[in-house]
Amino acid sequence: MTNNNEYKSIPQEKFAFVNEGERLTDKQFDDKPIGYFKDAWIRFRKNKASVVATVIIICIILFAFLAPLFNTRYDSRFMDTYYAKKGPRSIALYNLGVDGGVERDYSEKGLIMSLAVGIGAEDWDDHDATLQEGLESKYQPILEIGEGIVSLDALKKEKVTYPGYVDTYLDVGFLYRSVEQAEYQRIVAFEEETGLKVLYPLIENNEYTPDPNNANYWYKMVKNQPVTIDETGDVDKLYYEDLVNGVPLEDNYKRDAEGNVKYYEYTGGGTAETAQYKIRVLYYNYYIYQNGFEPSYLFGTDSQGYDLMLRLAGAIQLSLFVAVCVSAINFVIGALYGSTEGYYGGAIDLTMERISDILAGVPFIVVATLFQIHLSAKVGAIPSLLFAFVLTGWIGTASRVRTQFYRFKNQEFVMAARTLGANDRRIIWKHIFPNSLGTIITSVALVIPSVIFTESMLSYLGIVKLGTAAQTSVGTLLSDASGIWTNYPHLMIVPAITISLLMICFNLFGNGLRDAFNPSLRGVED
C-alpha cells in the first residue's frame, strides 16, 4: 500500500496551472442541441454510397425532364420508319465516332449496291460518276472498306467478303415517293434555295431492273449482277475490281423521246394542285427538306423509328410518377392502418391482421391483369395500374409500422406521456411515430425501385399496354428490343443500364435514409 506522505515531497514548482491568465466564460461551455433532421443529414452525408446513389438519381431525373426541353427538333411523337433501329448519330459528334455506323461484311453484290448510293448521288443528267466521285460524296454510306477475304462456301466455291464500316442513315439511299404536283414544285424550289439535290431520275422498269420497287437499283443488272452494255448490245458482268479500275456503272434511267431523264411521272389526279406524281428522292436530303435539319439521334432510334433518348426520358418520367404516387399512397394508408393495429392491439389488431392476411394472399399479377382487362378501358392503363399497386401495396408498410408501435408503446417515455395526460392521438403521432420514422421512410424509399421493377416487368410481358405514341415505359422498350438486340444492341443496352441504375441507386438511397433517421444512432460518430 502506498504511503500518502510520499506525495508531500514533490516540489511545488513542478506544478503548473492550465489556462493560467485566461478568463473562462460561459461561451466555452455552450452546447447547442442538433435538430432531428440536421442530425439525420449529418449521418446521411457520411454514407458515401448513399450520397453517390443520390447524385445518380438526381442526374437521371434531370435527364428525364430536361432532355425533352433541350431537344427542340423532335418530340416524343416524332417517328421516321425509314430510320428505325438506327444507332446513335450526332452531327456535332460525328467526327468523334457518333456517326450511326456499324461494321458489316459485304458480298460483292452488296458492296456495289452500297457504293452505288454515293455514286448515284453524284450521277444524274447523263453524268457518269466514277467510284472515286462516289467515295468522296458526302452521301456515301460506306465510310471504310477493307481488303477482300477469300473463303469457301458450303459448296466449296470461292466466296469473297469485304469488311466495311457503314453509316446506316446514309445507307437508306433512294426511295420512291408519291406527292402532289404542288409538293413537287416546293421540292424544286427547295433545291434551288439550298443547293441540296433531292429529286433524282426515275428508273426504267425493264429487263435490267431486278426489283422495280427498290429505288437503289438505278444501274443496269442482269440476273442480279451489275453489267455494262456496249454498242453492239453485248453484256459484260461488272465486278468491284472493275469499279476500282474506273469502269462506271451504267444507269437505267427513264428518258423521254428526246433522251432526257425524267424526274417525275404522272400517276393520277384531276387538277394542277392535286395531280399525283411519282418521284425518286435521295432520302437523306428529303428528310432535311421535310424537317429542316439533318437526322441526329444521340441515343439512336427505337424499333419503330422514335428518338430513343426522348422515349427513354418519357419512360423514366412515367416510372417515377407511378412509383412516387404508389409510395405516397401506401405510406399514408400503411401508416394509419399499422399505427392503429400496433397501438390498440387486442381484438382490433387481430381483426385488422386477418383482413391484411386475406389481401396479402391475392396474387398481385392476377390483380394487375384483371384491372387491365376490365378497368383500363374505363379509366386508362396508368390509373388501373395504380389501383392494382395500392390494393395490396400498403400491407408491407402497415406491418412495419405495427411492429414499431409494439416495440415502443410500452417504453418509459410513452408511459410518462400517458401519465401526464397525453391523449392517444398525441402519443401515437408525437411520441411513437417519430421513433418509427427511420424504418418507415426506408420501407417507403424501397417501394420506389420495387414499383419501377414491377411496372417494367408488367409492360415487358405485355400485361400493361404502354407502348403508344404518347407514352412508353422502360419495360416496353426492353420488350421491343428483346428479339433484335443482337443486331441492334443499343436498343437493349440503354434501357437496361437505366433501369439497373434506378434499382441499385434507390436501394442504396433507402439504406442511407434508414441509418440517417434511426434515433438510436443520434450523436454516434463513425
Whole-number Å distance between alpha carbons of 298 and 291? 17
Q: State the pLDDT at residue 351.
A: 92
Rounded distance, CA 148 to CA 92, Å? Answer: 33
Pairwise CA distance, residues 403 & 335, whole Å: 11
Q: For residues 38-48, b (16+ Cβ closer than 10 Å) or e, as one string?
A: ebbeebbeebe
Domain map (residue ranges) of the chain: 50-70+306-521, 90-291
- For residues 364 and 370, is the Cβ–Cβ distance under 8 A? no
Range list of H helices, 345-432: 346-360, 364-374, 376-379, 381-408, 412-419, 424-426
Question: Count of CB atoms within 10 A of residue 507's CB?
Answer: 17
Using DSSP's 3-state secondary structure scheme, residue 273 falls into: coil
* pLDDT of 84: 93
pLDDT at 420: 81
Classify residue 32 by burial, with Cβ atoms within 10 Å: 0-12, 13-18, 19+: exposed
Q: Give the type of residue at 396.
A: G
Helix 48-70 to helix 490-516 angle (10° resolution) is: 130
Alpha helical stretches, state H, 153-205: 181-194
Within 13 A of 325's CA, how many CA atoms are on the CB side?
A: 16
How far out from the chain centre does Cα 383 lie?
A: 23
- How far apart CA 294 and CA 296 sit, in angstroms, is 6
Tell which CATH architecture fits domain 50-70+306-521.
Orthogonal Bundle (1.10)
d(CA 145, CA 109): 14
pLDDT score recorded for residue 430: 82
d(C-alpha 374, C-alpha 107), whole Å: 53
Quick one: pLDDT at residue 411? 81
3-state helix, strand, coil in the chain (%, to 5): 55, 15, 35
d(Cα 281, Cα 262) in Å, to the nearest integer? 13
**Cβ proximity of 299 and 308 under 8 Å:** yes
Q: Report the pLDDT value the prediction gives residue 20, as an integer from 0 to 100.
A: 59
Degrees to nearest 5, angle at CA 418 with 413 and 424 = 110
Asked if 123 and 63 count as a contact pair (C-beta separation under 8 A), the reply is no
Q: Which of 254, 174, 178 is nearest to 216 (CA)?
A: 174
**Mind giving me the DSSP string for 133-145?**
HHHHSTT--EEEE
Cα dihedral 206, 208, 211, 215 sign? negative
Query: How does DSSP classify residue 431?
Result: I
| pLDDT tens sequence for the chain (526 residues) | 555 555 556 676 666 665 555 565 555 445 556 666 777 788 888 889 999 999 999 999 999 999 888 887 877 788 999 999 999 999 989 888 899 999 999 988 899 999 999 999 998 776 778 899 999 999 999 999 988 888 776 566 778 899 999 999 999 999 999 999 999 999 999 999 999 999 999 999 999 999 999 999 999 999 888 988 877 778 888 889 999 988 889 999 999 888 889 999 988 877 767 889 999 999 999 999 999 999 999 999 998 999 999 999 999 999 999 999 999 998 889 888 988 888 888 899 899 999 999 988 888 888 888 888 888 888 888 888 898 898 888 888 888 888 888 888 888 888 888 888 888 888 888 878 877 777 777 778 888 888 998 999 988 888 888 777 778 889 889 988 888 888 889 899 999 999 999 989 988 888 888 777 766 555 555 4
Apex CA 416: angle with CA 414 and CA 422, to 5°? 75
Nearest 10 degrees: Cα torsion 74, 76, 81, 83: 50
Q: How does DSSP classify residue 429? A: I
What whole-number distance in Å separates Cα of residue 88 and Cα of residue 490?
8
Alpha helices in 409-464 (DSSP H): 412-419, 424-426, 433-461
The bridge status of strand 199-200 relative to strand 235-237 is: unpaired
Helix (H) or strand (E) segment spanning residue 199: strand 199-200
How far is the C-alpha of 383 from the C-alpha of 329, rounded, in Å? Answer: 13
pLDDT given for residue 174 in this prediction: 96
- Characterize 122-157 residue by residue with b for buried, 16 or more Cβ atoms within 10 angstroms of its Cβ, and e for exposed: bbbeeeebbbebbeebebbbbeebeeeeeeeeeeee
Tell me, what's the pLDDT at 5? 55
| Amino acid at position 357, single letter | D
